[in-house]
Structure formats: C-alpha cells, structure tokens
Structure 1
Amino acid sequence: MKKWFLISTIVLLMIINTNPASAISNAPIHWGFTKGKNEQQAEAGKAYDELLRKHHAFYKGDPNKKVLYLTFDNGYENGYTPKVLDVLKKEKVPAIFFVTGHYLTSEPKLVQRMVNEGHLIGNHSWSHPDLTQVSNEKLKEELKKVKDETARITKQKEMHYLRPPRGILSERTMQLANEEGYTHVLWSLAFKDWLVDQQKGWKYSYDNIMAQVHPGAVLLLHTVSKDNADALEKVIKDLKARGYTFKRIDKFK
C-alpha cells in the first residue's frame, strides 16, 4: 500500500511539473477601467493592478509626470496612416504601432517607414484571434510570425511589446507572452474610434482625448479613423501647451 501511494505521488508530481501552466487561470479578462477625467488617472482597480504587475504588464505610467505614450493599433490600412506619420514626424513625437499579419503583408512600405522614422512596431498577433481561446503552441506561432515578418521587412529585429487582440487576455496568455519575451501593453485612454462608418468629425476625437488625458496615459488610437488623423496635430500641440511630453513605450517608467 505504501509503495502504491509513493508511486502515485511521484506520478502526480511529474504531471504537475511537466504542465505548470495547468495551474494558471485562463479565465478571459476583457480589459476595461474607469476613465480618467480632470487630469486624474484612469483606474482599473487593485486586482487588475496586481495581476498586471505580476506579469510585468502595464496600462499607465507615473501619475506625477506629465508624460504620454502614443500607441496605435493597425489591423488594416484605411488610408490615414501616412497622415498620422506626417504629423508625428512634424511634431517630433514617437509612437508604437501594433500590427497584424494582414497589415505586414499588405502594407510593408508603411511598416518600413514607421521604423525608419523612429517608431516601434509592436505585436498585435498574426490573425487577430482571441488569444485566450487558442492553444499555447498557436499563441506562440501567432507572435513569432509577426516578429519574423517585421524583422524581414524592417531593421527592427527584436520585438518586446504585445497588444492583445480585442483587449482580451488571461493570466495564461500573459505568462506565455512573458516566456516569449513580451510585455503586455494595455491602455488608460480610449474611445470608440475604430468604426469607420461612424466617424463623427475631428472634434469628436479631440474632445475624447482631451477629456480623458492624464499624466502617464497610454493612449490607444486606431489609424483606420479619419477623425483621429484629422485631430492628431491639434491634440499634440495642445497637449504640449499643457506641459505634456511624449515618449516611446520602451522609455516607459
């Protein structure tokens, strides 16, 4: 009996040790937070703050420094990214563009321009799936294909930042991303800007950004939005006038 118990215990330990991810939750988290206002920071709550800290992820920076981080999600091109890049170049503002496989294969020249002009390319997955619903192997493949194709068409050989598709993540996906050398970059400022058939004019974008902005904000914008492209230059100039500066996400503190 004792021998059988010992063998059973050893087998159980082997199973646990060979599958450590089994103890990690894959419960989907749909990223959300209480929006910032009056230049007070957005808040996701203690539980999310602790979970992100555990996996070296972040969604906002130092509340005492008027530093902003521009991030753009690029699933496909809608004709406005060149204008966005023109504004960033004119205003000397860096950004990170989270791209998909579709964007890399359809717009390699724009991706190359991003890197040439000092911006970062981030990983938004190859096919934009809900990463909590794919296997470990598929998740790694999704990230590797974006990294490899970016390296092939640009001078950026390394990739360390991940924006989860649809803002859906779990502790499992964060841990796997960490193992692959990635940090989850979430956001503390966003609004419904991605619906191309519901654009409302540049002031809609401008007003939403200015109402939510706060020290340390990580801004999520979509380049498919005409509103964003038309508002961006005024947004940047007016935020600079308020004393804000812009840093690239790899300078995050």
Structure 2
Amino acid sequence: MKNYFKFFTLIFILISANFLAGCNKDKYPLDYSEKLQKKNKVEDISYDIDKNKGKSKVISSVLTDEKVLSLTFQGMGNEESLNKLLDELDKYNIKATFFVSGIKVAEEPELANLIVNRGHELGNLTLYAGDLTELSYEEKVRQIKRSHDVIKKYTNVDIKYLRAGNGAIDEEVKVAAANCDYENIVSYSVNPQDWQGKSVDEIVDIINENVSRGSILTLSADKNLDAYKSIKSIVESLNERNFKFVPLDKLISINNDDFKLDENWYEQIEKKYEEGFKIINNGLRSEKKVALTFDDWASDDTVDEILDILDKYNIKATFFLRAKGVEQNPSLAYTISQRGHEIASHTYEHINLDTLTEEEIKEDLIKSHEVISNAIQKEAKLYLRPPRGIINEEIAKIAGECGYEDIIMYDNPSALDWKEDKSAKEIANHVLKNNSSNGDIILLHILDNINTAKALPTIIEGLHNKGLEIVTVGDLLNDN
C-alpha cells in the first residue's frame, strides 16, 4: 500500500512541476503568432534580408545643454491602469512614448489606439519583446518588421523608433534594425526598475541620482500597473531641479552629437613632439590678472550653481575635468563648454600618476582627451592638471608625449575646499590671502556637498576689489 502511495505521489509531483513550468513560459511563446494568424490578426509575411544598409544608432540619451529629458514606457498595461496613467500624464502635459510589442497590439489594439488618441507616441518593442540577440539574423529582421507592420495595421501609425525587447543589443541587432529602416534604436539612461515593488520615494530617489540633461527615462506600464502613482512625485521633484519633459522626437532632434575627435590625433601629436614640456605655476607677474580654475566632477545641480555665479559676474574659468565622470554625463561637460568656459583634463581615472606605469599613464591621458573632446564637441585644451598635484619630470615627459606639453599647477597652497568641513568663509579667506597676486592660478573644486559655490561670490568680489581681472588659463598665458 505504501508503494502505491509513493508511486501516485511521484506522479502528482511530476504533473505539477510540468504544469508550473508551462505557467512560467514567456507570455508570448514563439508559436503564439501562429494562433493569431489563424485569427487573421498577424499575417505571416516573408521579408527581404539585406545587410548593406549599415547600422542603426543606439541612443540612450542625447547631448544637450538644455535641462530636458523624455519619458518612455515599456508596454501598455491593461485598460484600467492605462487610463489612470494617461490621466496623470495629462495633468502635467507630458507626452510620452510607449514601446509596445506587435503581439500585444494585435491582441489589444484598443489600448494602442487609446495611447495614440491621447496624443502620445508608439514605439516598436519587436514582435514578442524578447531577446533579439538570441535569434538568427533572419529572425531578428522578421520580428522587427512583423511587429512594425502589425502596429501600423491596427493603429495606422508608421513607427519611427525601435527598442530592443529586453535591452539586449549586439552588432547584428544594429544591422537588422537598419535593414528594417530604423535610423535609431532607442534605449534609456535612467531605469529605476519600478516593477520590482519599489515605493514611490525609492523610485524618485533613483531617478534623481541618475538623471541628467538629455536623459531618456523608462518606466514599466506592463509589469507595474501602479506606474501612474509615481508620476506626480517624479514630475514635481524634477521640476524643482529645473528639469522638464519633452517628447522623444523633440529630444532626439536637439542631439548635438556631431563632432568626433580624429582617431589619428595621437599619432599626429607623437610626430610633432620635441620632448619639451612646461610645468606652469603662474602667469606673468606684471599683469593684474589671475586665472580661476576648477578641478574634478560633480552633479548637474552643483555645477549649475557655480556656472550661474560665474555668469552673474561675467567670468570665464578653466575647468579641469575628471573624464570618467564626463563619460557618464557628457551633456554636463558640453554645458560648461557652451557657457564659454575653457575645458582641459584632470585625467580619466583620477589616480595618482606616480603609481602608474608609463603605458598606463599614456592610456589614461589619451582616453581622457578623447572623452572630453567628444563630449564638448570640439578639441579640448591640451592642458593637464595632475590629480592631487603630483608631478615630476618623468611624468611630465610622458604627458608631453601625449600632447600635454603644459602641466598647469599653482604656486600657493590649496584652500582645501574639497573638504566638506571647510566653511565658505574659510575657503574665501584662504584664497584672498594666498592666491590674489598678479599672475596667480587659483585652484578650486567642483564636488558635491562642499562649500565652494557659497564661497565663490566673496572670492570674486574680493579679487575685483584688488583690481584683478579674472581670466582663463589660456588668457593668462596668452595662449588663446
């Protein structure tokens, strides 16, 4: 009797496991479209396969000095959740882009048309919103094109933007997208993963930590049916920081990413290098000028505060930027440059150069110049400010071989404004006492949670009261 019981128990477990495995399959398995074909919802069409149309460009953010971003959604949700979401977007006059799969549109065309009729844009999330990188090239093209055609059939909308289903993109996906006449594959730069059960406050915090000029924000309308609940807090929080939402089409239209540094620039520098370098601590002592410089990297809010103060006093400064930060937020470097300031390198990794090999130093400095130049859309000044002021003749010679023939230092001790416990008064007093002689190069920092911005007006007014003109390093050295 016990053996019979064990036998039937085993059979029950196997059947249950098989049932649960079936329940966990993708919502739209690969043969699902065949069922829809029988219902005349998705036509089975063969497509021309062409690999000669180049590659689509992947856009996760755009390069701009405007404090704008776009809101996108994955999926549509259900009728109730979608209506609530659209109502919230209407309250704040936000036009979003909903990336939808062809299968979902074929199943629920009324939802897709509701989005369009409420003034929002549809994007192509491919036929099943799955991982295109796991498919053959032919199947990639088929799923992109079929989804495009299905969406157009049910909404009469000719989709302009493509998004890879789960964000996975390889070179073949770019080729397949171009074959399907998509100029751009739209990804995202901010994804709070709101579908993971996060609170509204948690979602807003993640967005604020990662948002920057030109960001593309994505939320989930399918996996998070309560997405509408976070819209109010997201919008109000970003409005406080002077960010505003614009339609995706407008955001992409203002992308300023046109300039690329000549990839042979370093070879040209090597040929010209004459083993000469200068470690510069000051400018001419005969001229009543000082150069104002800022080192490092910070958030948009911190840098904006400093830029606004400089604008108020009509002052142009030199910013030595940590290129790794620039790489993560190129629009901020572009903004600094567009406001008329001089941009140079504070290295890529911000590691003490005396701890690196010659090859490591060269790799860092070359990468830094390329990243910064491409971000500001013109070649950056080939000035170097070494991290923590650590320099010697050997390092300077290596830097010179990379084109950095001017190592920009400073005569007098730093105000140590990078320390969070340094008050604005202490910073200003130090600068005006120690860095206010003709030809001085003044060292300050752009870092979050320090008091440099608060000290800056006092510093500027104090220098002006001494009859000193505040200029860039290039102007101080008559190098412009």
Please indicate, yes or no, whether the TM-score normalized by the shorter chain is above 0.5. Answer: yes
| Distance (whole Å) between structure 2 residues aligned to residue 145 and residue 167 of structure 1 | 20
**What SS class does the counterpart of residue 215 from structure 1 fall into?**
coil
Partner of 1:119: 341
Unaligned regions of 5+ residues in structure 2, if any?
A: 1-275
Q: Which moved more, 1:149-158 or 1:90-99?
A: 149-158
How far did residue 142 of structure 1 move? 0.5
| Distance (whole Å) between structure 1 residues aligned to residue 461 and residue 388 of structure 2 | 30
| Distance (whole Å) between structure 2 residues aligned to residue 55 and residue 148 of structure 1 | 20
How far did residue 127 of structure 1 move? 0.7
Partner of 1:215: 438
Match of 1:184 among 407, 415, 420: 407
Q: Which moved more, 1:141-150 or 1:218-227?
A: 218-227
**What SS class does the counterpart of residue 315 from structure 2 fall into?**
coil
Partner of 1:100: 322
Match of 1:168 among 386, 390, 412: 390
| Distance (whole Å) between structure 2 residues aligned to residue 159 and residue 140 of structure 1 | 17
Please state if 1:234 is matched with 2:458. Answer: yes
Unaligned regions of 5+ residues in structure 1, if any?
A: 1-53
How far did residue 171 of structure 1 move? 0.8
How far did residue 78 of structure 1 move? 8.3
Please state if 1:109 is matched with 2:303. Answer: no
Partner of 2:476: 252
**What SS class does the counterpart of residue 226 from structure 1 fall into?**
coil
Indicate if the aligned counterparts of 1:122 and 1:162 stay in contact, CA closer than 8 A. Answer: yes
Match of 2:377 among 155, 158, 168: 155
Q: Deviations over 1:65-116 (max 9, x none)?
A: 2200011111444842211111111211111111113320333222111110
**What SS class does the counterpart of residue 351 from structure 2 fall into?**
coil
Indicate if the aligned counterparts of 2:334 and 2:376 stay in contact, CA closer than 8 A. Answer: yes
| Distance (whole Å) between structure 2 residues aligned to residue 101 and residue 154 of structure 1 | 11
Q: Deviations over 1:23-73 (max 9, x none)?
A: xxxxxxxxxxxxxxxxxxxxxxxxxxxxxxx73221112222220001111
After TM superposition, list the pairs within 5 Å mapping 1:188-199 onto structure 2: 188-189=411-412, 190-196=414-420, 198-199=421-422
| Distance (whole Å) between structure 1 residues aligned to residue 474 and residue 349 of structure 2 | 25
| Distance (whole Å) between structure 2 residues aligned to residue 238 and residue 193 of structure 1 | 17
Partner of 1:43: none
Indicate if the aligned counterparts of 2:323 and 2:345 stay in contact, CA closer than 8 A. Answer: no
After TM superposition, list the pairs within 5 Å mapping 1:20-169 onto structure 2: 55-77=277-299, 79-169=301-391
**What SS class does the counterpart of residue 278 from structure 2 fall into?**
coil
Q: Which moved more, 1:54-63 or 1:141-150?
A: 54-63
How far did residue 243 of structure 1 move? 0.7
Indicate if the aligned counterparts of 2:323 and 2:372 stay in contact, CA closer than 8 A. Answer: no
| Distance (whole Å) between structure 2 residues aligned to residue 199 and residue 79 of structure 1 | 20
Indicate if the aligned counterparts of 1:69 and 1:217 stay in contact, CA closer than 8 A. Answer: yes
Q: Which moved more, 1:70-79 or 1:119-128?
A: 70-79
Partner of 1:49: none
| Distance (whole Å) between structure 2 residues aligned to residue 238 and residue 112 of structure 1 | 29
- The structure, 1 or 2, with the larger RCO (C-alpha pairs under 8 Å, 6+ apart) is 1
Indicate if the aligned counterparts of 1:80 and 1:226 stay in contact, CA closer than 8 A. Answer: no
Q: Which moved more, 1:223-232 or 1:166-175?
A: 223-232
How far did residue 128 of structure 1 move? 1.2
Q: Which moved more, 1:62-71 or 1:76-85?
A: 76-85
**What SS class does the counterpart of residue 290 from structure 2 fall into?**
strand
| Distance (whole Å) between structure 1 residues aligned to residue 304 and residue 433 of structure 2 | 26
TM-score by length of 1: 0.73
Indicate if the aligned counterparts of 2:344 and 2:380 stay in contact, CA closer than 8 A. Answer: no
| Distance (whole Å) between structure 1 residues aligned to residue 341 and residue 349 of structure 2 | 22
Partner of 1:22: none
RMSD: 1.8
| Distance (whole Å) between structure 2 residues aligned to residue 127 and residue 209 of structure 1 | 27
The count of corresponding residues between Structure 1 and Structure 2 is 198
| Distance (whole Å) between structure 2 residues aligned to residue 90 and residue 107 of structure 1 | 25
**What SS class does the counterpart of residue 169 from structure 1 fall into?**
coil
Q: Percent identity?
A: 26
Indicate if the aligned counterparts of 2:369 and 2:382 stay in contact, CA closer than 8 A. Answer: no
Indicate if the aligned counterparts of 1:75 and 1:102 stay in contact, CA closer than 8 A. Answer: no
Indicate if the aligned counterparts of 2:290 and 2:476 stay in contact, CA closer than 8 A. Answer: no
Paired letter, 1:220: L
Paired letter, 1:226: I
| Distance (whole Å) between structure 2 residues aligned to residue 171 and residue 165 of structure 1 | 15
1:229/1:111 Cα in 2 relative to 1: closer, same or farther (>3 Å)? same
Indicate if the aligned counterparts of 1:121 and 1:159 stay in contact, CA closer than 8 A. Answer: yes
1:174/1:193 Cα in 2 relative to 1: closer, same or farther (>3 Å)? same
